[in-house]
Amino acid sequence: MTETKSFCTANHILVGLGGTGGKILRAFKMRMFEEFPTHDERKKLPVQLLYVDSTDEMMPKDGRPRPDFRVMGQDASFTNREFLNIKAVDVSYILDHIGNYPSVKGIVEDAEQVKSAIGSLGQAAGQMRRAGRLLFAANAVAYVNALKDAYGRCEQISGDASRKYVYIFAGLCGGTGSGSIIDAIVQARKTFPDAIISVYTMIPEMHLPKSNMDQGRYYQNGYAAVNELNALQAGRFCPQDVTGTGKACLYSDRIKGVANGVTLYSNVNENGMTVNSLEELPKIISDYIFARIFFVNEEDEKHFGDILRAYNYENMDKFALEYDEAADPDEKGHIPVARTKKVNSIGIKRVMYPELRVLKHITYTVGESVLYQFKYNNWRENQGFVNEERNKDYRKAYLNADKQSEWMIDTDHMTLELKVLESDTDYPKFNDYWHDKAITYAEDAKKADCPLNELDNIMGEFYANHFREEGVEAFYTGKERAIPEMAREIRHRIENGIFESWKIGDVSIVELQKVSKLLLERMGEIRTELETKTKEEKDNYTAFDQDRTDNVSEWSRLGILQRMVGVGARRYADHQGILTDYYTSKTKLVALEFAKKLAAKVFVEIGKMDAEILAFGQKINEAIEETERLVGAQRKVNKGLEDMKGAIIEVSEDEAMSEFEVDIKVDKVEMPNIARQIRETILPQGQFVNFGRLTNEISVDDIKDAFDIKLSAIVKAKHDEKADSDKKVLGLNILTQLQQKLVTDDDIKEFATKIVKQSGVYLKLNNDQMQLHLRNNEGELSPINPASVNKKTILVSIPSDEESPGLERFANKLVDAFNDQFGNGASQGSIIINRQSPRKDELSIIAIQYCYPMRAIDWMAPYKDRYNQFLNSGNPITDIKNAILLHSEGDGTELPSLFALSEEEISVKRYEREVWRKQNERQSMQQPAGQPMPGAQQPAVGTGAVPPVMPESHVAPPPLTPAQPDIKLFLAIGGQQYGPYNMDMCKQMVQGRQLTAQTMVWMEGMAAWTPAGQVPALQPLFAPPATPEMPPMPPTGGPVPPPMM
């Protein structure tokens, strides 16, 4: 692959929270291994990762690399120093001893209530945001230390402490990432006050890729987390400092937030294209960050200035806030902030020549042929090694006499006429031994009265005590103890022989399997033959014994003179031959009994070998299946320029790739050599033992690694040797590929138009919400200034066009076409063309849409509806628990409204503050100086969440003197619940038209929400005409109504 040039000089720390964050870090790290394939390259990059989770499911197990983290033969798994496991605490113990954990106590309030809501934690935080925060809080110091360690490593590499970037990634729907996000931001800011902190969070998908992803709090979690992020960035939320004491109020007016900004994204882009949020989306976010860190030159203001400011949220500070539409200025004229607009969404589109995919496709295709050689070794002209068995007479080739002798399964070796173990002594064959004894001791035996018997006695003595130093029966009895070792030696001789033949490429695995089956069959035959030979040898022995007896009898009948010459001498000479045959046969009988035992053991060993060869063959079959899958995975996945909706658009000619593959595969000289090199690569170091160990020591991953490392290098070398300029498939410029596709000026303009239009950010925005002219940008900047909301910057990066004048002319036309995409409405967007991209094989388009409030996200309204329903179940205890589960701290009512309030809601809020002010004044007149007023608490400004069920311990502001009858009335206005109000308050609200006969109300004793005019106790209020100008009054405490209809 083309060497990757990097502009990374600052320090970058990437923090992944929970599963969503972990997937992004995994995609990022794997791409680092792709772009910077050597350890020496990577160790020079000041980039560090920190994966924080309450489960270790993405970590290596038992020290073994994870196959899903493999990149071209290398293990890109997270290391231990890149992982912080926050599940290594006992939350129940902490809650039971909350006094010992002051930093956690501030986010618990009521430990028993929180413990009851959370229950028992399983493997992870289980979509409970409060549980996720508790786990994080208990490990917050470790998180801070891990950040410091990561930064220390970065600074050691960069040598520069002036520029720090922290990127925090999380999903907002689960428990761990969503529950940890606030603390992760706050503690990062507390640790690095001058760092640029960017937050990337995924909002809930409206259509889930898996049905079991929503455990009942998926969307509710998302809405609660967005509310907290908005409040944090607006300076309206000071969370408990989990590494200190008290509240962490780190809002900075300089950056208009705690983090420098928040990026929100989903799995559907602005053009309606949906991507898989579990697989594709993490790669898209990773690619966006990767481009920021490595391909954006911070020193090049001309080409990268606008996009860098958008990346860093720097170009929206003047328009960063929306103020509370229900609030009044304070004594200094300041109005509370309600919402942040330092929000963006991003998109990246890569138009690329897929060099890595092409290299992998060639590598794995050639690898398939290598594995076919391993398995079948069947070469065909113009095809190469094929996936088909060749015809061969295996019995003739492997079961001839010479081969059986070589493998020591012939009779001579089975009976130990020839030794099996190398450590044994070489002895003469049976017949030679006994012939030698008969000849050697013939003269000595003549001295006896009966030389025939004497010679027999001498040879019998050798048989009993001296054959091979211990006698025949003793020798074989002793050797029986070595039968297992001999059987293994025979197996090793066979196994090593056929392995060496496979190792050098002479035979295939199928051939090995055929041979092992034949050997099993042959050993069965040998055992039968040994039984037959034993029977035959017994007959021979009987005959030889009779000959021996008869010859002695005949000799005994001879006279003295006849014994000395003539007939007697011949009889004695014959007797030497008879005794030779006799003792040879007698020895063979013992040896054959031994051979039957040895053959049985060899049969077992060959059976084991057969099974292990079969397993080895299966391993190769699995490797073939995996390689076929890998080849399929590298096939072109989109239609190229015909359909440019995807995040990656490939521009390639796979026909040229296929031609190059065929050139390699049909090379009869090179392919066997390539197969040999791959065999040498995958085979373990050291001496071959057996196929069983080989099977255990070689994995499919090892074979894939051999392809990724060794074979890909061979492919690149062959490409450099063979590829002419018009046949190259590696090292190509994307501009060259585009030039072949975009022939006319109209083609170029159409391409630029489509690519800009479809380079959508991964978020759908609501135009109605975007166009609301709310109270914002106080001062000289008008809230209706179009520069104050919804801006967009696009960076188009194309490689150098210096290869030829024709390519330069094409690039100029392409640049002009891109620039033409932004004409009208230039204040709302900009496009930057960078013509010096370090990526030769890629044209990339990065889009950043920024400066808008979170309420403008299209899906936020349905999130809110589900959130409200979840917190208003009709069961007060359930609602309290649900609020605890959804919010990392408090119950959400203290947060400003994410949505703009209606005029009716604004009226209610203002009246509540006015009533609170008057009550405060009245009580202050009765209260001694310096003492707090009981129950005096100002209503939250801009609260848009449904008012929570008030617990019994709640202390309400003192009500006005109630009128009779004594009622406690709740009102439903604009989807929100207000109250309770007494009769006196109700009269005032009727006069101000906040309470009409049509207003839905509820009070204790009523079965359901009912129009006020139908409630007998209220009907007198509607008799006289009402007067305007009075909003609803604040609640006075009391029973909880059922859910609003």
Q: What is the CATH number of the domain that holds 46?
A: 3.40.50.1440
- Cα-based torsion angle of the residue sequence 181, 182, 185, 191 in order, rounded to the nearest 10 degrees: -120
Domain that holds residue 615: 394-631
Mean pLDDT, to the nearest integer, of 508-517?
Answer: 95
Query: Alpha-carbon distance 846 to 797, whole Å?
Result: 8
Shared-domain flag, residues 274 and 360: no
State the angle between helix axes of 355-375 and 509-556 in degrees (0 to 180), rounded to the nearest 10.
20
Tell me what pLDDT residue 804 has.
Answer: 80
Burial, 418: exposed, middle or buried (Cβ in 10 Å; 0-12, 13-18, 19+)?
middle
Task: Give the residue from 383, 693, 403, 367 showing the smallest Cα distance to 375.
Answer: 367
- Does a structural domain hold residue 323? no
Confidence of residue 26 (pLDDT cuts 50, 70, 90): very high
Tell me what pLDDT residue 963 has.
Answer: 43
Shared-domain flag, residues 114 and 211: yes
Q: How far apart, in Å, are the Cα atoms of 740 and each of 1, 369, 806, 810, 819?
A: 22, 32, 12, 10, 22
Shared-domain flag, residues 969 and 934: yes
Shared-domain flag, residues 126 and 31: yes
Residue 592 in tokens: 């054959």
Tell me what pLDDT residue 960 has.
Answer: 39
Q: Strand order in 1000-1003's β-sheet?
A: 976-981, 969-973, 1000-1003, 1010-1011
User: Which residues lie across from 50 on neighbouring strands?
Assistant: 15
What's the pTM value of the predicted model, to 2 decimals? 0.77
What percentage of residues in the chain have a pLDDT greater than 90? 56
Confidence of residue 811 (pLDDT cuts 50, 70, 90): very high
Shared-domain flag, residues 57 and 82: yes
The domain boundary, picked from 701, 722, 743, lies at 722
Tell me what pLDDT residue 1039 has.
Answer: 53
Range 290-311 burial, b when 16+ CB lie within 10 A, else e: bbbbbbbbbeeeebbebbbbbb
DSSP annotation string for 59-82? S-BTTBPPGGGEETTEE-PPPGGG
The domain boundary, picked from 700, 722, 744, lies at 722
Confidence of residue 121 (pLDDT cuts 50, 70, 90): low
The domain boundary, picked from 280, 295, 310, lies at 295
The beta-strand segments (E) located in 283-376 are 321-323, 337-340, 343-352
Q: Cis omega before residue 451 (within 30°)?
A: no
Confidence of residue 154 (pLDDT cuts 50, 70, 90): very high
Task: Give the residue from 986, 950, 948, 954 showing the smallest Cα distance to 967.
Answer: 986
Res 288 pLDDT > 90: yes
Residue 125 in tokens: 């935080």
Tell me what pLDDT residue 333 has.
Answer: 79
User: Which residues lie across from 344 on neighbouring strands?
Assistant: 263, 850
Query: Alpha-carbon distance 269 to 647, whole Å?
Result: 10
Shared-domain flag, residues 406 and 281: no
Q: Give the tens place of pLDDT for each residue, 646-673.
A: 788 999 878 889 999 999 999 999 999 9
- Does a structural domain hold residue 156? yes
Q: Give the tens place of pLDDT for each residue, 707-732.
A: 999 999 999 999 988 766 677 899 88
- Does a structural domain hold residue 858? no
Shared-domain flag, residues 214 and 132: yes
Shared-domain flag, residues 286 and 370: no
Tell me what pLDDT residue 942 has.
Answer: 36
Q: Give the tens place of pLDDT for each residue, 576-628.
A: 999 999 999 999 999 999 999 999 999 999 999 999 999 999 999 999 999 99
C-beta of residue 636 within 8 angstroms of C-beta of residue 650:
yes
Res 955 pLDDT > 70: no
Tell me what pLDDT residue 72 has.
Answer: 86
Tell me what pLDDT residue 1042 has.
Answer: 55
Place of tokens 């170009």: 315
- Does a structural domain hold residue 1015? yes
- Does a structural domain hold residue 851? no
Shared-domain flag, residues 362 and 215: no
- Does a structural domain hold residue 739? no
- Average pLDDT in the chain: 86
C-beta of residue 771 within 8 angstroms of C-beta of residue 786:
no
Mean pLDDT, to the nearest integer, of 83-104?
Answer: 82
Tell me what pLDDT residue 723 has.
Answer: 62
Confidence of residue 830 (pLDDT cuts 50, 70, 90): confident
Shared-domain flag, residues 117 and 27: yes
Tell me what pLDDT residue 934 has.
Answer: 40
Shared-domain flag, residues 605 and 643: no
- Does a structural domain hold residue 128? yes
Q: Give the tens place of pLDDT for each residue, 324-373.
A: 888 888 788 788 899 999 999 999 999 999 998 999 999 999 999 999 99
How many Cβ atoms sit within 10 Å of the Cβ of residue 322?
Answer: 27
Measured CA angle at 480 (ends 477, 482), to 5 deg: 130
Shared-domain flag, residues 623 and 692: no
Number of domains, the chain? 4
Residue 696 in tokens: 């255990």
- Does a structural domain hold residue 213? yes
